[in-house]
């Protein structure tokens, strides 16, 4: 992976050279034909109109038609190659960003999901657009060269004005390029931040409505969006200033060329056709000059976006070992934590034998979050003190595939994916109809199916926005039960369902993963008395450590436990 924004742009050019070669060649052909149009018109006037020779006029007119045909088709097919190269590069960048974000080892980054989305969309597109400028820049340079040759052959002074004046104009316009690059990077960062906040607000809209926090959320987004707007205005201002400067300089430059040509025509040193050709070339040169001036601004934006992509791809993954769980047998897998300190956890000791349905009642939500992150493998080893073992093997020494095949951790926040209910519950299609029906009944997700005319084939849109929070939770519990993992950890799986449904889910988890389930170990990290009543054993965690343990019924005699689970 390149280490700089320029490296990203250079790599894009290298890996798309097969598509860029015909793209550049055809756009050069297009610009050459554009430059030759006024020249051919001038020759037609000198040789066909001024002489009164009809056959010569028709021949030149036919040549002009052919020139326009080549011009049109060169741009048409050249643009196709260019768009393919651009879209191909954007796809590659999106795939890299997505692969890095979705790597099984996890990712250490503070970016919101919306910010990652911005990297995979707007930043990737900015880099792709740099490829577009290659063809236009090459065509513009060749067109300017042709114009200079024509003018040199017509008059030495005119040719020298082109060869000396154009580089000077372009050099002056580059003064604004560094500022555009800096402002583009700021704009992309602030746009990504506002996008991340927007995604979070949409996901947590029901929660905000429940606590009356809509105005606070809206105010926070308003500030972020305003900063993104201001940054975009600053970038647009810088690019507009560059474009205005380029227009002024090119206008002055072309005016000088036109005045010189007019003087030559008045003095009889050039013909009428040559004057028309010079004026036409002068008008035509405005476009390639503007393209060359804007090229630096586009490259500055592409480099800034490339730098952001590089920074994201440089974010380290969580380390993972290569071992398999020791002691993983038909008798199940033990889970043990000894003296664990991570986040708000302070010396947590917890041992769970195979086949246990354990309730973990946590007084502080921060403790529950730290425990779930630790078991999910999202905590960096440097941030963990103590020993966490799965089947006798330290959790950090396990291969990612082995760990996730043995231990499934379902966080409180539920994510459903675009597809169908079937693909969300059983994404690998491993369950037969009977097994699928069992997990649907156990999770009360069969009620969700009953309300959907498509049943298991009912479509699920992105983020499952047409499903309520309770429906999403039940589908997520069904998916967790369908995985049939030796060790399953569920964090607050029923907070969005009604008490009757919660009773059904608790009974279903007990039936599928309780004492009659053999060696399957299940942890319920929750303060729900309904769920805790179905467990074999409950531990109460306060201030980062276990303070009580026993059955739910026995622990109800303790005031501390009652205050935690019956509030």
Global pTM value? 0.67
d(CA 107, CA 405): 19
Question: What is the dihedral sign for C-alpha 213, 215, 217, 220?
Answer: negative
Enter the DSSP assignment of 48: I
Q: What is the pLDDT of residue 39?
A: 83
d(CA 490, CA 478): 11
Q: What is the pLDDT of residue 457?
A: 87
Enter the DSSP assignment of 318: P
Enter the DSSP assignment of 323: B
Bridge partners for 459 per DSSP: 420
Q: Which phi and psi angles does 267 have, rounded to 5°?
A: -85, 0
Contact 225, 194 (CB under 8 A): yes
User: In terms of Cα–Cα distance, which of 290, 275, 300 is closest to 144?
Assistant: 290
Average pLDDT for residues 280-309, to the nearest whole number?
78
Q: What is the pLDDT of residue 329?
A: 46
pLDDT digits over 56-114, tens only?
Answer: 888 888 888 998 899 999 999 999 999 999 999 999 999 998 888 887 777 776 666 66
pLDDT digits over 234-243, tens only?
Answer: 767 766 776 6
pLDDT digits over 5-44, tens only?
Answer: 888 988 999 999 888 999 999 999 998 888 888 888 888 8
User: In angstroms, how far is CA 36 from the centroid of its own chain?
Assistant: 44
User: In terms of Cα–Cα distance, which of 470, 481, 539 is closest to 510?
Assistant: 481
CATH class assigned to 335-565: alpha beta
User: In terms of Cα–Cα distance, which of 357, 415, 405 is closest to 377?
Assistant: 405
Q: What is the pLDDT of residue 296?
A: 73
Contact 549, 560 (CB under 8 A): no
User: In angstroms, how far is CA 17 from the centroid of its own chain?
Assistant: 25
- Could you tell me if residue 93 is left (phi over 0), alpha (psi between -120 and 50 degrees) or otherwise beta? alpha
CA-to-CA separations, 237 to 176, 178, 206, 393, 505, in angstroms, rounded? 11, 14, 39, 59, 58
What is the number of alpha carbons within 13 Å of residue 461 lying toward its C-beta?
5
CATH superfamily, region 5-313: ABC transporter type 1, transmembrane domain (1.20.1560.10)
Mean pLDDT of the chain: 82
Enter the DSSP assignment of 50: S
Q: What DSSP line would sit under 439-478, residue for residue?
A: HHHHTTTHHHHHT-TTGGG-EE-GGGTTS-HHHHHHHHHH
Question: What are the extents of the domains in the chain?
Answer: 5-313, 335-565
Q: In what order do the strands lie in the sheet with 521-525?
A: 407-410, 487-491, 521-525, 357-362, 537-542, 545-550
pLDDT reading at 330 higher than 50: no
d(CA 45, CA 291): 30
d(CA 119, CA 432): 40
% of the chain residues with pLDDT over 90? 30
d(CA 259, CA 98): 57
Contact 477, 493 (CB under 8 A): yes
314 Cβ contact partners less than 8 Å away, ≥ 6 residues apart: 1
d(CA 430, CA 482): 9
d(CA 303, CA 295): 12
pLDDT digits over 129-165, tens only?
Answer: 889 888 888 888 888 888 778 777 777 777 677 667 6
d(CA 271, CA 277): 10
End-to-end Cα spacing for the chain: 53
pLDDT digits over 491-548, tens only?
Answer: 999 988 999 999 999 999 999 998 877 789 999 999 999 999 999 999 999 999 999 9
Element (H, E) at 349: strand 348-352
d(CA 259, CA 249): 15
Contact 63, 33 (CB under 8 A): no
pLDDT digits over 397-443, tens only?
Answer: 887 777 888 899 998 888 888 889 899 999 888 888 899 999 999 99
pLDDT digits over 158-211, tens only?
Answer: 767 766 766 676 666 666 556 655 666 666 667 766 766 666 666 655 555 555
Bridge partners for 487 per DSSP: 407, 521
d(CA 328, CA 398): 12
């Amino acid at each position: 992976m390149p280490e700089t924004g320029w490296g990203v742009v250079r790599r894009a050019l290298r890996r798309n050279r097969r598509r860029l070669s015909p793209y550049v060649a055809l756009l050069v052909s297009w610009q050459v034909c554009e430059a030759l149009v006024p020249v051919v018109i001038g020759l037609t006037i000198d040789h066909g109109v001024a002489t009164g020779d009809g056959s010569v006029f028709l021949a030149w007119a036919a040549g002009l038609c052919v020139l326009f045909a080549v011009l049109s088709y060169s741009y048409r097919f050249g643009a196709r190659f260019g768009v393919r190269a651009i879209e191909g590069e954007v796809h590659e960048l999106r795939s890299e960003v997505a692969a890095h974000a979705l790597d099984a080892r996890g990712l250490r980054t503070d970016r919101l999901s919306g910010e990652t989305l911005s990297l995979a969309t707007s930043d990737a597109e900015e880099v792709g657009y740099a490829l577009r400028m290659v063809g236009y820049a090459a065509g513009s340079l060749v067109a300017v060269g042709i114009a200079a040759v024509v003018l040199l052959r017509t008059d030495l002074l005119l040719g020298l004005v082109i060869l000396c004046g154009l580089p000077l104009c372009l050099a002056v316009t580059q003064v604004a390029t560094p500022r555009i690059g800096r402002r583009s990077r700021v704009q992309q960062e602030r746009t990504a931040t506002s996008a991340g906040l927007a995604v979070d607000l949409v996901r947590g809209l029901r929660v905000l409505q429940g606590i009356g926090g809509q105005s606070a959320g809206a105010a926070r987004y308003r500030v972020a969006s305003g900063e993104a707007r201001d940054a975009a205005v600053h970038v647009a201002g810088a690019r507009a200033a560059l474009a205005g400067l380029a227009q002024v300089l090119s206008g002055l430059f072309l005016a000088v060329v036109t005045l010189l040509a007019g003087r030559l025509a008045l003095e009889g040193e050039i013909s009428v056709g040559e004057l028309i050709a010079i004026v036409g070339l002068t008008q035509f040169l405005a476009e390639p000059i503007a393209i060359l001036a804007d090229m630096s601004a586009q490259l500055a934006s592409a480099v800034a976006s490339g730098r952001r992509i590089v920074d994201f791809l440089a974010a380290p993954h969580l380390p993972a070992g290569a071992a398999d769980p020791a002691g993983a047998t038909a008798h199940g897998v033990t889970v043990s934590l000894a003296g664990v300190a991570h986040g708000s956890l302070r010396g947590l000791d917890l041992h769970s034998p195979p086949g246990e349905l354990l309730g973990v009642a946590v007084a502080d939500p921060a403790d529950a979050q730290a425990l779930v992150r630790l078991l999910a493998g999202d905590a960096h080893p440097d941030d963990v003190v103590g020993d966490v073992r799965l089947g006798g093997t330290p959790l950090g020494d396990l291969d990612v595939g082995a760990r996730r095949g043995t231990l499934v951790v379902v966080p409180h926040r539920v994510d459903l994916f675009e597809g169908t209910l079937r693909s969300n519950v059983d994404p690998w299609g491993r369950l037969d109809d009977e097994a699928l029906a069992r997990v649907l009944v156990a999770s009360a997700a069969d009620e969700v199916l009953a309300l959907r005319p498509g049943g298991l084939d009912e479509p699920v849109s992105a983020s499952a926005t047409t499903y309520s929070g309770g429906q999403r939770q039940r589908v997520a519990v069904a998916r967790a039960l369908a995985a049939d993992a030796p060790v399953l950890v569920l964090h607050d799986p029923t907070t969005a369902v009604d008490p009757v449904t919660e009773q059904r889910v608790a009974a279903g988890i007990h039936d599928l993963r309780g004492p009659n389930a053999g060696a399957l170990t299940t942890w319920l990290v929750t303060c729900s008395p309904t769920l805790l009543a179905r467990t074999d054993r409950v531990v109460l965690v306060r201030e980062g450590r276990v303070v009580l343990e026993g059955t739910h019924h026995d622990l109800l005699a303790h005031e501390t436990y009652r205050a935690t689970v019956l509030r």
